[in-house]
Amino acid sequence: MAARRWRPRGSGFWPVLLMRQPYGRAIASTVTYAHPAWYAAQGYQVVVVDVRGRGESGGQFRGFAQEASDGADCVRWARHLDHANGRVGTYGFSYQGLTQVLSDGSVPQDFPDALAPAHCGLDERCHWASEGGAHWWALGLGWALQLAAQGCARRSDGEGWLEIRRSLETGTFLQEGVNLLERHDPLGMGLTWLGREPAISEGWTCHQAPLELLRRPMLLIGGWYDPHLRGVLDLWRRSQAAGGDPWLRIGAWSHLNWRGGLDALQLAFFDRHLKASEVSMSPPGPLPPPLLLERLGDGAWRSPDPAAPSADAWWLRSQGLAAVRVDEGQLIPGVSTEGPADGAGACTLTLVHDPWRPLPGRGGHLGLDAGPVDRADLDARSDVACFSTPPLAEPLELFGQPELCIDVAADQASYDLCGALSVVAADGMGVRQWSTGVLRCRNNLSGLPQPRSLLFQPVLLALRPGERLRLSLGASSWPQIGVNSGDPDVAPGPVTHRHRVITLQFRLPGARLRLRSLASEGLD
């Protein structure tokens, strides 16, 4: 396999920082990290490797399936580089993050001494390809086509590369992306995933990280606006269960926008675990908190107990006009398991999804425009039902994974629930979206109400006095997920003439919004 190395000036023996990635080693993940030359100047050898079948490395690219065996080989090789002191750390995000935790090693020397995986997870279905039983559409196609284009370049297929590039630049990949993959990368991970049923685990791969590796010092990096956040939380939970003591940092970051980077933190982590064990050298500075989360809304860094989500909960109330008047639906505070005592709002709310004008997805963690956005115009649509709290009398902090439990009936066999949690400004002039969630509902053959559980992206959020929390519900989030046709014989995706109008009925008695623990299993 092809690799490039950066080394400190002068003579000596240094720890090795290893990155393995599929995009060409010259890039070295500088879209999010400092250049390897910077780490070399801090006293590290840095080695960036083209994974098998990518860049200038030989062999056939088989995606994640190849990385366990290659990972152990690369770590063993890095330990014995000239001028290496025998200690190896690994870093990288996304694909480069997962390469760090996949290993078929059998002895301690096969595993890195410290690792810093970011924005990744072990479950291909839940952490890489889908959410709530729906494929990531824009993100999944975009990434798969990027890999396909690089495959074209490797084969010197300039026409194929240009065709894919134009499709991505013009946005037509949202309609023609599957056909492009069938022609240019028919065996690739992206097309394979799109061909699997995302509602069930059968046929999908969930990788296993060795317990010995999970016990190693680990810096886990996630973003509130990154689609792989649940994978990072799963790795954090697995590391703790294996007896590890991982550091966890979650910021207001998307997949590519880290708002200034985390290189200083990462350097301090590696200094502590790769340099501090040298003879007569003590750990540099006080031990930082193992868990730090950036609070949305005010940017404060906090260390909440992941096992103790906010106890707040709200009941949904409407007289049936929450999809017509943005101010009609209400969120009624109440932590008991019984609804409002007065019975008000005990009605059925009807919402109609028209595939000719599907509700757009915007921002959040699944958008190509990931991040916080204003959604006042979306909430004003008549195919969006809004429920808001009264203006807050005092500050409120929300922490955990929001979950909406609600009974829903539909007139078609399949439909989607797409939700957003936002903060309405005190003056009512802005609606800042902070978290979203999607759920694909199938086999709705009876047309009778069925209980549904819609999970949102986890949050740590501060609200100020005068602001209001808002829940928005719709039936599509295009192009973040494909538009549901309502017809079991027509796959979700771009709208076609066979997509049906879908009428949903939300039964509000018992409908409840609450927050779940981030320390528990089943975040997906």
Which pLDDT tens digits describe the chain residue by residue (524 residues)? 899 999 999 999 999 999 999 999 999 999 999 999 999 999 999 999 999 999 999 999 999 999 999 999 999 999 999 999 999 999 999 999 999 999 998 899 999 999 999 999 999 999 999 999 999 999 999 999 999 999 999 999 999 999 999 999 999 999 999 999 999 999 999 999 999 999 999 999 999 999 999 999 999 999 999 999 999 999 999 999 999 999 999 999 999 999 988 999 999 999 999 996 554 455 566 778 999 999 999 999 999 999 999 999 999 999 999 999 999 999 999 866 566 655 555 589 999 999 999 999 999 999 999 999 999 999 999 999 999 999 999 999 999 999 999 999 999 999 999 999 999 999 999 999 999 999 999 987 788 999 999 999 999 999 999 999 999 999 999 999 999 999 989 999 999 999 999 999 999 999 999 999 998 765 56
The domain covering 3-122+207-294 belongs, at the CATH homologous superfamily level, to: Alpha/Beta hydrolase fold, catalytic domain (3.40.50.1820)
Query: What's the residue count for the chain?
Result: 524
Rounded Cα distance between 372 and 363, Å, is 6
Euclidean distance between CA atoms 25 and 29, whole angstroms: 8
Q: CA of 34: how far to CAs of 31, 56, 260, in Å?
A: 8, 23, 10
What integer pLDDT is reported at residue 279 of this predicted model? 40
The single-letter code of the amino acid at 235 is: L
- How many angstroms separate the CA atoms of 202 and 196, rounded? 9
pLDDT value for 280:
43
* SS3 sequence of 165-184: HHHHHHCCHHHHHHHHHHHH
At residue 455, φ and ψ (nearest 5 deg) are: -95, 140
- Interatomic CA distance for residues 100 and 88, integer angstroms: 11
Structure tokens belonging to residue 270: 């590696």
Q: Side chain identity at 36, as an amino acid letter?
A: P
Phi then psi dihedrals of residue 72, to 5 deg = -65, -40
Among all chains, which residue has been given the structure tokens 């299993």?
A: 521
Q: For residues 146 and 94, what is the distance between their CA atoms, to the nearest angstrom?
A: 14
Give the integer Cα–Cα distance in Å for 120 and 94: 5
Distance of alpha carbon 328 from alpha carbon 242, whole angstroms: 49
Which amino acid type is present at position 149? Answer: A
* Planar angle of CA 354, 357, 362, nearest 5 degrees: 115
Delimiting residues of CATH 3.40.50.1820 domain(s) in the chain: 3-122+207-294
CATH of domain 313-516: 2.60.120.260
Residues of each domain in the chain carrying CATH 2.60.120.260: 313-516
